Amino acid sequence: MTKKILSSPITILISMILGVFVGLYFKNIVPFLTTIDNIYLSLLTMTSLPIMICAITINIGKLFSQKFKGAIGLLLLLSLAMIILVSSLEIITCSKLKNIIKPDDTTAVTLIKISDRKNNTNITEHFDELQLYSPNNISNEEEYSLQSFLLNIVPNNIFNSIANDHIIQIVVFFIIFGVMLSLIDPNLSRPIINAFEGVYKAIYDFLNIILLFLPFSVFMTTARILEDSETVKLFSLLINLMIIIFVLLFIIIIFSYFIISRSTKQSFKEHSRAIKRTLFVAIGSGSRIATITVTMEDAPKLKIDKNIIESILPINTLLFPVGTIVQSLIIAIYASIMYDSNININNIIIMILGALFYSISISNVTSVVAASMLGIMLTPLGLPIDICIIIWIIMDMFCEEIETFCGVYANLAVISLINKKLKNKVSKQDLIN
């Protein structure tokens, strides 16, 4: 009964309303709530990465079996088509709304003042922390670029990658490890796979216990955001930009829903129940990996083969993070409009590729570190990143949860199409036999 109450949409809504009330009228207790919320989110993140690693190791080899023949090529084709379609929609929309997006003098002056490191010490904890990651404090050896990103995809030492939270390197290693396990003698690989399955089950059971407290995290996160008056002020200055990104994300979610519903033949009521936990975890944590984890476990409710979803979803959501791409692209477009830079075909290609590489590279890092890495996308465009860092952090505070859900959900739509194709293939083979 308690579990049912805590997982109810009404409970989440009440938690958000209480968070708004506390954030506006009881600011003095927010620092205490922030500490508790950080501990909770750390526990959530702690469980998510091992589960994702186990799922990849156990299932990735199956993609190369006869059953999944042709799935990898179709997956790449559909994923790239999705990124190109979403990016084109966003660029066309923002170009048409150029006059609405372009910041007025007040907004521009405020952003410039905040981006000035001399005036940046007493605004918020986020802007204080930014000084550690500002372009002026990053050495040439640590400078982020497309080249450095590509060179760092493959890990030199997997233990260093795990210690430093380099998600892409970890994923690449366990993809290779999982594939090689599927190629060696089953008598040798089976005990290793059994061990990973045991770890998966143990940590996932612990994750289910943590998720019972998700409404409390929603309450604390909402209170923390609204307590910071400077953040709320900046949000009001960027309201037009925020509305556009929310509309774009919702369009992607609605489009994804129609793809999933047609592929799985689920009613809206059925699908809402199946996707409920995924939505709640995205809203409560903003963690892409935690959201992926819950979605994998709920695969049977979504009428998608569990082996398919566990093999593909973690990898595809990290390589094609649609929500993050939308958010990073709109910052590049905003900066181009603000600095009167031409948005021609060459710049559009650089924007799309830069947004893709940038979105992959910031998996599981903090908002501040993610903001500091904007140079991956903006430097090739010749745009300054100081003001864009501030915009990213403000946008991330208000958009992270819906952006996380959008990224996982859009990739779920791609997987539902592959699931449908493989089911049709099996049905045809059964008829022939």
The answer to whether domain 2-432 has CATH 1.10.3860.10 is yes
Give the helix/strand (H/E) hosting 74: helix 71-96
What confidence score (pLDDT) does residue 90 get? 80
Could you give the CA distance from residue 159 to residue 154 in angstroms, rounded to a whole number? 13
**Higher pLDDT residue, 304 or 393?**
304
Residue 377 pLDDT > 70 = yes
Q: 79 or 126: which carries more pLDDT confidence?
A: 79
Q: Give the model's confidence band at 195: pLDDT under 50 very low, under 70 low, under 90 confident, else very high.
A: very high
Q: pLDDT exceeding 70 applies to what percent of the chain?
A: 74
Eight-state DSSP code of residue 155 = -
Q: For 11-20, 57-66, 244-253, 413-422, which range has the lowest pLDDT when averaged over its residues?
A: 57-66
Residue 139, pLDDT above cutoff 50: no
Nearest partner of 307 among 44, 49, 64, judged by Cα: 64
pLDDT for residue 431: 45
Summary mean pLDDT of the chain: 75
What does the alpha-carbon distance between residue 353 and residue 378 come to, in Å, rounded to a whole number? Answer: 11
Confidence band (pLDDT; 50, 70, 90) for 140? very low
Residue 325 in tokens? 């791409």
Question: In one letter, which amino acid is 301?
Answer: K
- What are the pLDDT digits (tens) for 283-297? 777 777 778 878 887
Please answer whether residues 45 and 289 qualify as being in contact, where contact means their C-beta atoms are separated by less than 8 angstroms: yes
**Residue 371 reports pLDDT greater than 70:** no
The average pLDDT across 359-368 equals: 62
pLDDT over threshold 80, residue 406: yes
Cα–Cα distance, 303 to 337 (Å, whole number): 44
Answer yes or no: is pLDDT of 77 > 60: yes
pLDDT tens digits, residue range 299-351?
Answer: 778 888 777 777 778 777 777 888 888 888 888 888 888 777 777 787 788 78
Question: What percent of the chain shows pLDDT beyond 90?
Answer: 2
For residue 368, pLDDT over 80 is answered with no
Cα–Cα distance measured from residue 134 to residue 127, given in angstroms and rounded to the nearest whole number: 10
Residue 398 has pLDDT above 60, yes or no: yes
Q: Which of 5-19, 33-47, 379-393 has the highest mean pLDDT?
A: 33-47
- What integer is the mean pLDDT of 73-84? 80
Which residue's structure tokens are 């140079």?
A: 375
Q: Contact at 8 Å (CB) between 332 and 351?
A: yes
pLDDT (tens digit, 9 = 90+) per residue, 89-122?
Answer: 788 777 777 777 776 666 666 666 655 543 443 3
- Two structure tokens written together for 48: 């998510």
Mean pLDDT to the nearest integer, 165-194: 83
CA 152/CA 165 separation, integer angstroms = 13
Model confidence band, residue 11 (pLDDT cutoffs 50, 70, 90): confident
> Could you give the C-alpha distances from 203 to 5, 51, 84, 292, in angstroms and in order?
23, 7, 36, 14
